[in-house]
Structure 1
Amino acid sequence: MALTGVLRPGHVQLRVLDLAAAVKHYSQVLGLWETARDPQGRVYFKAWDEHDHHSVVLREAEAAGMDFMGFRVDSTATLKKLADNVKASGLATEMQWVEAGEMLKTGERFRFTTPTGHVIELYAEKEKVGNMMPLENPEVYPENLKGMSPTRFDHCLLYGDDLDGTVKLFTEVLGFKLAEQVVAGPDRLQIAAFLTCSNKPHDVAFIRHPEKNKFHHASFILDNWGEVLKAADIITRHRVSLDIGPTRHGITRGETIYFFDPSGNRNEVFSGGYIAYPDRPTLTWTDDELGRAIFYHDRKLNEAFLSVVT
């Protein structure tokens, strides 16, 4: 099945407290490639196997967290159609068009705020800069990789209050599918939703939380479990603040490790998972099995992991 509509996560803009320290972390520890700096002082990065100009943007600010997350759509026509559908849905607020070029090498973006308070963007155009290898007869990876060297920005996990409205917006308006969920209590209230627009276990996930617009983590994918273990070595070598792992999730089956950038924004690198074809049934976890769902090996909840957000 050809992917249409919303194709994939395209970028995330993060607020950091010390730009120089953050640049060092994202370039030397995570191993992203710096691609540009703009007149606003923002710094742009990409993972090595991404062909688009950037997927991570850092902005120095007084408080850490996420400014917005962007998704690439398949065409300008789709962008206009989805913008109209979002406007007509009654589920989004603060809708606006951001002109082409406001973000470097990126076309116009349609921006809106979800019921959970998160700012989301859709866009159709971003300059291709390649992965330092030819498109004909390439090698399998370029030389001079450093740090953890993920192949791409994969997803974000976000916290907010109106989970029901946000899930409705993503599934009924933007065309995402609910890959996995967590339900709680006798009424089986949905407390977590893992949403995909592709064939991955999730492209974005949301957790029910009393406060709006909270950021849990940005995640980047590695090739295999061995690379996750190597990431743990890099975390120690650079004395990075470790959150949890290496371990494995029951939800999504990802092999994972979590750590913090110098501003307190949580990062994840992971491998594994499964292929979520459109006809795959939704997987449901109950809150009495939440420990195993989140940390499959030790099967225990970690309060700091659940509660620390920016």
Structure 2
Amino acid sequence: MAMTGVLRPGHAQLRVLNLEEGVRHYRDVLGMVETGRDAQGRVYLKCWDERDHNSLILRESDRAGIDFFAFKVLDEATLDKLERDLQEYGLTTERIPAGELMETGERVRFEIPSGHKIELYATKTQVGNGLQVTNPAPWTPAAEKGIAPVRLDHCLLYGPNIAEVKKLFCEVLGFYLVERVLGPDGEGEAAIWLSCSHKVHDIAFVEHPEPGKLHHLSFLLESWEEVLRAGDILAMNKVPIDIGPTRHGITRGCTIYAWDPSGNRFETFMGGYQPYPDYEPTTWTFDGLGEGGGLDYPQRKLHESFLTVVT
């Protein structure tokens, strides 16, 4: 598909209870590259194969969770158009000046009906992935540090009003519905998976009474063997694991979910299929989430912690 409009997930700002513990986890265990620290005390990181300066920002706080999740758009004209479209839709937008985040241009921030803050931006300094652009090698030494995911892939957010969230993302931002879980009564949608590309999802939402909650940030690996290796590394570093290694029925992704030192859940993920906007969305019944293997295909059961623990 033509890459226009909203391109991809760009960055997330995460709250951690102890900054240096968080940095050690994401830099040394997960294997991200630290790219800077700012006057506010925030720490910036990127996955080794990402070109842009940062995809994860850590901020110390007295409570864990997510401050905002951002998407990169094609160019400044696209950013201006989407800001107007959001305002015409009835949302209040805020322009964050260039440089408020290190090496990042102006951002348009808005709050969605689930209580989450979403950002759009068009420019961020490209620092590269450590490979030359002519006749490059396939990887760098950074690809061997820790789990070493290749990119920030997606997030799952919990909050209310996801029917309104879906309408906003699909009608204004150009996303499309890939998969969904129906509510227990067979009416309405309890969970939705949305894409702005031909990835199986770029963002997902679950209906939840508390607004603004984070279920997980997901980091992409390239093979099932790398997911299994991630499990070894997590175990060697005594990182508590929620689920996995396993495979979802939903999205067909292979995965491990675990918690960082602050209790924020993160995912090491690979697989999934490549949908297009003309595909009919896949529908799961609420029973299918458990007995049908939607959540955990091999065990075909629900995991209470996965459904209830959010930050």
- The TM-score normalised by the length of structure 2 is 0.98
Counterpart of 2:138 in structure 1 is: 140
Unaligned ranges ≥5, structure 2: none
TM alignment of 1:3-22, pairs within 5 A: 3-22=3-22
State the 4+ residue runs in structure 1 displaced beyond 6 angstroms: none
- In 1, distance between residues paired with 2:10 and 2:111? 17
1:66 aligns with 2:66: yes
The aligned amino acid for 2:6 is V
Q: What secondary structure is seen at the aligned counterpart in 1 of 2:239?
A: coil
| More deviation, 137-146/223-232 | 137-146
Q: Deviations over 1:89-134 (max 9, x none)?
A: 12x34x2100000000000000000000000000000000000010
Counterpart of 2:242 in structure 1 is: 243
Counterpart of 2:27 in structure 1 is: 27
Q: Residues 103 and 124 of structure 2 are in contact (CA less than 8 Å); yes or no, is this contact kept in structure 1? A: yes
Counterpart of 2:56 in structure 1 is: 56
The aligned amino acid for 2:308 is S
TM alignment of 1:94-109, pairs within 5 A: 95-109=93-107
In the TM superposition, residue 185 of structure 1 has moved relative to its aligned partner by: 3.9
The aligned amino acid for 2:102 is L
Unaligned ranges ≥5, structure 1: none
1:206 aligns with 2:244: no
- In 2, distance between residues paired with 1:18 and 1:138? 38
Q: Deviations over 1:17-55 (max 9, x none)?
A: 000100000011110000000000000000011000000
- The TM-score normalised by the length of structure 1 is 0.98
Q: What secondary structure is seen at the aligned counterpart in 1 of 2:141?
A: coil
- In 1, distance between residues paired with 2:244 and 2:87? 41
1:153 aligns with 2:152: yes
The aligned amino acid for 2:7 is L
Q: Deviations over 1:252-287 (max 9, x none)?
A: 100000111000000100111101122222111000
| More deviation, 40-49/143-152 | 143-152
In the TM superposition, residue 187 of structure 1 has moved relative to its aligned partner by: 4.7
Counterpart of 1:122 in structure 2 is: 120
- In 2, distance between residues paired with 1:236 and 1:201? 28
- In 1, distance between residues paired with 2:30 and 2:184? 39
In the TM superposition, residue 184 of structure 1 has moved relative to its aligned partner by: 2.0
Q: What secondary structure is seen at the aligned counterpart in 2 of 1:235?
A: helix
TM alignment of 1:250-265, pairs within 5 A: 250-265=249-264
In the TM superposition, residue 186 of structure 1 has moved relative to its aligned partner by: 4.3
- In 1, distance between residues paired with 2:238 and 2:141? 25
RMSD between aligned residues: 0.8
- In 1, distance between residues paired with 2:186 and 2:85? 31
CA 1:300–1:130: 2 relative to 1, 3 Å: same
- In 2, distance between residues paired with 1:288 and 1:242? 25
The aligned amino acid for 1:87 is Q
The aligned amino acid for 2:117 is V
- In 2, distance between residues paired with 1:187 and 1:181? 12
Q: Residues 29 and 146 of structure 2 are in contact (CA less than 8 Å); yes or no, is this contact kept in structure 1? A: yes
1:194 aligns with 2:193: yes
The aligned amino acid for 1:103 is L
Number of aligned residues? 308
Q: Deviations over 1:222-241 (max 9, x none)?
A: 01000000000001100111
Counterpart of 1:304 in structure 2 is: 305
Q: Residues 35 and 54 of structure 2 are in contact (CA less than 8 Å); yes or no, is this contact kept in structure 1? A: yes
